[in-house]
A and B are shown apart, each in its own frame.
Chain A
Amino acid sequence: MSANSAFNDEKGGSSSVGEPEYGHDPASGGIFSSDYKRHDDLKEMLDSNKDSLKLEAMKRIVAMIARGKNTSDLFPAVVKNVACKNIEVKKLVYVYLVRYAEEQQDLALLSISTFQRGLKDPNQLIRASALRVLSSIRVTIIVPIMMLAIKEAASDMSPYVRKTAAHAIPKLYSLDPEQKDQLIEVIEKLLADKTTLVAGSVVMAFEEVCPERIDLIHKNYRKLCNLLIDVEEWGQVVIINMLTRYARTQFLNPNMNESLLEEGSNKTFYGSDEDEDEEEEEEEKDKKAEAPAVAKRKPYVMDPDHRLLLRNTKPLLQSRNAAVVMAVAQLYFHLAPKAEVGVIAKALVRLLRSHSEVQYVVLQNVATMSIKRRGMFEPYLKSFYIRSTDPTQIKVLKLEVLTNLANETNISTILREFQTYIKSMDKDFVAATIQAIGRCATNIGEVRDTCLNGLVQLLSNRDELVVAESVVVIKKLLQMQPEKHSDIIKHMAKLTDNIQVPMARASILWLIGEYCEHVPKIAPDVLRKMAKSFTNEEDIVKLQIINLAAKLYLTNSKQTKLLTQYVLNLAKYDQNYDIRDRARFIRQLIVPTEKSGALSKYAKKLFLALKPAPVLESPFKDRDHFQLGSLSHLLNAKAGGYQELPDWPEAAPDPSVRNVEVPEWTKCSSREKRKEKKVEKPFYSDSEGESGPTESADSESDSASGSESGSGIEESGSGSESEESEEGSESEEEEEEEKEKDKKKKKKELKTPVQESESEQSSEEEERKHERKSKQRKSESESESDEEEESESESSQSESEDSESEAEVKKKKKAAESKPPSKPVKKDNKKEKKEMSLLDLDDFEPAPSPQATPVNTFLSNSLATDLEGLSLSDAVLSPATISPSSALKSYEMLHRITGEGLSVEYCFSRQPFSPDANMVAVQMQFTNNATSDTKNLHMEDVKLQSGMRVKEFPEIELLPAGEMVTAVMGIDFCDSTQAANFQLCTHTRKFHVSIQPPVGELMRPIFLTENEFKKEQGQLMGMNEITEKITLDAKCRNEHSIVQRVITAANLSRVPCGSDKECRFAGRTVTSSSLVLVTVATKEEGAAKVTINCEKMVIGTMLVKDILLALTQ
């Protein structure tokens, strides 16, 4: 075999012979065709001082490795260069090290310290690469070092290093499985990571180390669903496959009702046009579900999380990566309600255009799917037509699919197509076609005769293989109704003279034996001929000859007695013991002797029993118990490490496990992510607008959650309580809101850029509404936000922080908004409406408005407390969900007396100021208490400290008497509490006003994990740390009120913390992005210690005062 030549040097390293083909390789430069001496020369080069020589040597060594040669004797020389300055040499040394470290463990240890140093490098890429190589060295002694490095890297600041840590986990696990428990801890931690970069890798580690720990996924399920679309392609595949398994254990079978009702009838049920009916039906069903008295069957309500998964994976069908498409397809196949599975067909058919290997795999899966869900692929029947240029294995698979798709309506087209195939030059394919025809004939009664006739014609084909295959298939078909077809049997009897293919001969003989009463004259003759040629036949044919003889002996012993004896005698001395055994057995059974037992009486019954007709089945039947798209499915055998796809549970496990304990944080994080995407990378993530008919198939609770996750603002999952409360209010507000939708659009056009942040939000809300009506809407924010994409990863982080807080605030607002019983809101809303309609000049209808967002921040305290009460009484929401916005303080800018009727209040809305991330958003509320209108309200003559900047609010053209309007401006305070002074001008007067921020408003919250927090804190010691001891106010000794007060005092976010004695908060200053870390540690009797770590000492000192004040008051 040609292959062997390539192997003979497998071990022999550089033993020289038989490698002429590498002669021209420049890396080895032809010099390198012989013995070990050459290695000395390499050693010299490696020991030299010149990088170029080292490089040259390393290149040659790597080239040798690539060829599979042994270069292990160079190990000491190479490993010395691990600390080489030259990057390329270093890289090649790494390659070498990873390859040989296992064999030279002791020497490999010499290199470890280099990597340990690398792990501490300030550059994240160097840290990552050090970890990567360190973890790739398979030396058992360094397991503890690796473990330590992985743990450290798992809490690294850089997501890239964390990703590398995730990659290192399976490496360590395979090196030392004893570390499993510790590794699971790391995995658990990384699973909580919220960056797309890490998600794919950590799920991969999860799958390899602890796929059985499905409980680790609960908390991260929604986050993974939401991140999915922005994870890199390979990670997507792993995550989708894992989530498929997860969903199978956690949700109910969406098809359980159908399977009861429509068992067996689903053949016709899935015609494409019937899908809609079904959807309607389901819709109806859902309606009925509300009134159980009407409902006939047990209503099925899809878990919103189940829906979330389906929705978020769907856009990935458009991926360019075939593996991703396949992963989504299998997910839909295994998890979606029948009516929705159809969407995957188009994408799978698209893959048929790809490389032939891809086609091969996809067709295997389509073949399995097409058995279960024929209707899905019927519209694409023609895409499976076969071209003469297809490779045979593809042809056969396409044939399989075509056969599976055949039904009464399309059978004629398919048979016509088959006819062309039979003429093909590719004989294997022709044989497969004949098989396929046979299957069509058995499955579809109408065409059985046509097929049979066609096959009989093939019996005169010149190609023996074709004839043989036809015989085999005809045999099977005839078994179904033999009495009609004795002429065909006769015809086939004649063929025994010509056909040599054993299987075909055997089939003919069996047929004649089985139906010998239909051909009483020919049968003995055939036996005679066969007896003659018995010794030359194949074993399988011999067995059938014996069989035939026995049957004839029983039916027609007069003519065939001697022949049978003869055959049995021949068989008695056959070489094959099977045949000998059979002969002996049959002789005992049929030839009556004095000793013959009871059995011979029944010989006739035994031999001439009616045999059931064979069922021609697809080899792909029931393959779907393997997860589609898996290797095991392809091989139809369990591959090592295959995770069984679990059966649906009988009753759904508790869905609340997916609720995140500290909802604020995790929700924020997922939202932050989406938000980030909106700002930074608005790609697939905010996929929406597929609410269409599929949506309606589910219950309404689902559609609510659907709209939520789609718009990317609110709770990404269910958060059941809050949702319910919304639901009620929404129904009330809905009508109004619908009316105003059109108007709002116009308004938006009128609006000026400063209000953009508002309009964005409202547009999001609007989107939600739109989505409910399954309309598509253009998102204005995108083109603008795209520019920000340039910002590097650092700033992206800070941006995400913004969005986090924004999201937080928004959520609160929404909650506030959706609380109709509280009067103040309504009032405010009404006021707002009027105002807005004034802005909207060409509109005379009163416009109720969800633009009310700014107003909500002015909610009366009673409402705020209401809200808190709500969150407190809430079992799911922990005390940490305290809304900062509920406690927003407003300050007076202009009293109505000094302002001659005009009063202005301002507050810090704690939302990111979208035109400029470095600015603090200041929200102003102008109230005209005078009797006359105020016009042209605007800013002038801004006086600022150096470095400060202001983005003015747009001029307010008209403020009628008794009305109120709000505006937002942005101020960059440069992280100082200096006031911004300016003049507020109306058409008649100017007022000097100033805005002075409390220090707590100069920051924005960021999300840190406990470990990150500790790490950061560790770096901000000494001068940067300020500690104060206090005695807490009596009212404020519980965790909840501490959190509330701190958050009120400063715009920080809480860091989750294991102990309830400590509350931690984190934020960054708005302008310089310096970290601000606050710790409040409580002790007995209200004693407490406040620690602030901040690079900016001034800010720290001021903040500590503010917080002390807040906590002691």
Chain B
Amino acid sequence: MSKRETERAEAKILLAEEQIKLTKLQQTKAKLQIHLLKAGLGNADLQASLQQLRQFLPYWHHILCNIPELAAEMIHSLFLINHSGDLFLEKHWKSVISRSVCDYFFEAKEKAVDPENVPPVLQTPHHYLITIYRDKLFFLSVIQTEVPPLFVIEFLHRVADTIQDYFGECSESVIKDNVVTVYELLEEMLDNGFPLATESNVLKEMIRPPTILRSVVNTLTGGSNVGDTLPTGQLSNIPWRRAGVKYTNNEAYFDVIEEIDAILDKSGSTVFAEIQGVIEACVRLTGMPDLTLSFMNPRLLDDVSFHPCVRFKRWESERVLSFIPPDGNFTLMNYHVSSQNLVAIPVYVKQSITFFEMGPCGRLDITIGPKQTMGKTVEALMVTIHMPKAVLSANLTPTQGNYTYDLATKVLVWDIGKLNPQKLPNLRGSLSLQAGAPKPEDNPSLNIDLKIQQVAISGLKVSRLDMYGEKYKPFKGVKYLTKAGKFQVRT
């Protein structure tokens, strides 16, 4: 055999080998993809496997690079976890993710001590966990790729709201009792990880909320709680309203609720105060009513946010709220009262909390009196104090109401009730400290709760409510309420 022939034969063999490699590789690639897809593995897994492959077959690098990144959905899975860390519901909108992913969360939870301090966003090797804490439950969602965190947080809160709306409360027992309904709701709310129907009115058309009567009937007749009519709300331009609403009593109620957020310093002067308001509506009207709500003094409102039903343009031009309301309860608007207006502080607090250097004890003396109450009575007055850890017990005498001191959480609550301007409520007595503990150098701040009925502290007034589009005359009502929001007195 001549040299040339040998060379040619060798070249042939080489070529054949290369071809075999290529086909093998293509097979591997396909297998790998299928395998990964089946296993529901994430990008990271894929990348890792690819890395390995690359090491073995550096020549075919470019082929491997052609494998596209797996597209991932926004919210992959949801886990519900109770206060003590038991996982009691899981829902996957795509392939199943093992529960063990929650271990990272439990680790963080352990570290944070207080559930409020668990970071809402956690990073794990293959996933991201976004968690909210509501009503002593953790709603933990697993995501795999970039997504605006607020998007997920807002959605999780919407889930909690929906559960609250359906069953009256959002708690572990309620969810467990209605696990099928909750599951159906979750199925409808998210499609492949993207929110589908989040309006409570639309959901209620598809899955009826349980009522006592219906659950009795259902057990007897085997009926269902899935709506038999198809949800048309989803299709309309006003997705928030159910079609074909009928009431015998047509009524529309609006609650104007204002909260005073304030920080008062030791001497009683205001460090910071503002008013946050919300208009909660309860509208039960037949048909498609078109409502217009106008204010006497809309100039007061500085910053607003609306339910999607409110026509923004009308507000911009005329400062009236014009809307086709959802059926039932909903939040019409949130507002913030311009900070130029001085905020009336309804009560003043005289307090002295002192701890003595000598002996394990301290003194507490608190008096509350009315300040600017718009001539109304202050009700449901309550003072909450988070005591320093060293405070063992409290021996106090209130002139009005009663107090409790929780030894475990070190929270002192003084429930006063109505504020009587003639006889100001006072709480005084001694605090005993842990023996040997150093005197706490910081004084706890007082958190105050109160309510004033029939007045919106900013002075906001609804002037009228008009209805168009329907013939009947609805019953209308507006209620005002002022509450303390985050009202804190520093000591």
Give the B-binding residues of A (Cβ under 8 A): 1-3, 5-7, 10, 21-22, 24-27, 50-52, 55, 59, 62-63, 65-68, 86-88, 91-92, 94-95, 99, 102, 123-126, 132, 135-136, 138, 140, 158-160, 164, 167-168, 170-171, 173-175, 177, 180, 196-197, 201, 204, 208-209, 229-230, 232-234, 237, 241, 315, 318-323, 325-327, 346-347, 349-350, 353, 355-358, 360-362, 382-383, 385, 387-389, 391-393, 417, 420, 423-425, 461-462, 629-632, 634-635, 637, 639-643, 680-690, 776-779, 782-783, 786-787, 789-790, 792-793, 796
Contact = CB atoms under 8 A, between A and B. Distances in A.
Contacts of A420: 265, 490
Contact of B146 (A86, A158, A632, A684): A632
Contacts of A635: 121, 123, 128
Contact of B91 (A66, A138, A686, A789): A66
Contacts of B143: 631
28 contacts: A6-B87, A10-B98, A67-B88, A68-B87, A92-B180, A94-B187, A168-B192, A170-B192, A174-B73, A177-B67, A177-B71, A208-B71, A237-B151, A321-B154, A326-B148, A356-B133, A389-B488, A425-B386, A631-B121, A635-B128, A640-B43, A642-B145, A642-B146, A685-B313, A686-B313, A688-B316, A689-B317, A786-B290
B193 to A, nearest CB: 9
Interface in B289-338: 290, 302-314, 316-318, 322, 324, 331, 334, 336
Interface string B170-181: 000000110110
Interface stretch (B16-24, B102-110, B246-254, B427-435): B102-110
Most buried by B among A86, A94, A125, A325: A125
A322 B154 contact: yes
Given A167-B194, A322-B154, A3 B106 contact: yes
B226 A88 contact: yes
A350 B305 CA distance: 9
Contact of B305 (A237, A319, A777, A779): A319
Contacts of A50: 222
B446 to A, nearest CB: 10
A688 B445 CA distance: 47
Interface string B66-77: 011111111000
A392 B111 CA distance: 13
Given A641-B43, A786-B324, A779 B313 contact: yes
Interface in B104-150: 106, 110, 114, 116-117, 119-121, 123, 128, 131-134, 143-150
Interface string B159-184: 00000000000000000110110111
Contacts of A26: 177
Q: Bin chain B's interface residue count.
A: 35 or more
Nearest to B96: A99
Contacts of A346: 302-303
Nearest to B442: A423
Nearest to A327: B148
Contacts of A6: 85-88, 99
B413 to A, nearest CB: 14
A197 B74 CA distance: 19
A382 B88 CA distance: 41
Given A51-B222, A355-B153, 17 more contacts: A2-B84, A3-B102, A6-B86, A66-B183, A67-B88, A86-B224, A92-B184, A124-B235, A125-B230, A174-B70, A177-B67, A361-B149, A462-B441, A629-B148, A639-B145, A642-B145, A786-B468
B95 A631 contact: no
B116 A318 contact: no
Given A22-B176, A385-B263, A358 B150 contact: yes
A27 B488 contact: no
Interface in B34-48: 34, 37-38, 40, 42-44
A417 B263 CA distance: 11
B86 A683 contact: no
B393 interface: no
A63 B288 contact: no
B177 A91 contact: no
Contact of B121 (A65, A95, A123, A634): A634
A524 to B, nearest CB: 34
Contact of A391 (B37, B117, B302): B117
Contacts of A350: 303, 305, 334, 336
Contact of A320 (B306, B313, B468): B306
Nearest to B314: A782
B6 interface: no
A27 B210 CA distance: 14
B316 A425 contact: no
Contact of A684 (B134, B265, B311): B311
Contacts of B114: 391-392
B420 interface: no
Contact of B148 (A123, A174, A323, A643): A323
B461 to A, nearest CB: 22
A828 B324 CA distance: 43
Contact of A789 (B96, B290, B304): B290
B438 to A, nearest CB: 6
Contacts of B369: none
Most buried by A among B134, B194, B230, B304: B194
- A-B pairs, 3 with minimum CB distance: A52-B222, A641-B145, A88-B224
Interface string B235-270: 111110001000000000000000001010100000
A361 B444 contact: no
Given A10-B98, A789-B237, A683 B311 contact: yes
Contacts of A690: 316
A776 B317 contact: yes
A630 B313 CA distance: 30
A389 B447 contact: yes
Contacts of B184: 62, 91-92, 95
A138 to B, nearest CB: 7
Contacts of A24: 176
Contacts of A387: 263, 445, 486, 488
A125 B300 CA distance: 46
B195 interface: yes
A208 B100 contact: no
Given A125-B230, A125-B231, A632-B146, A7 B43 contact: no
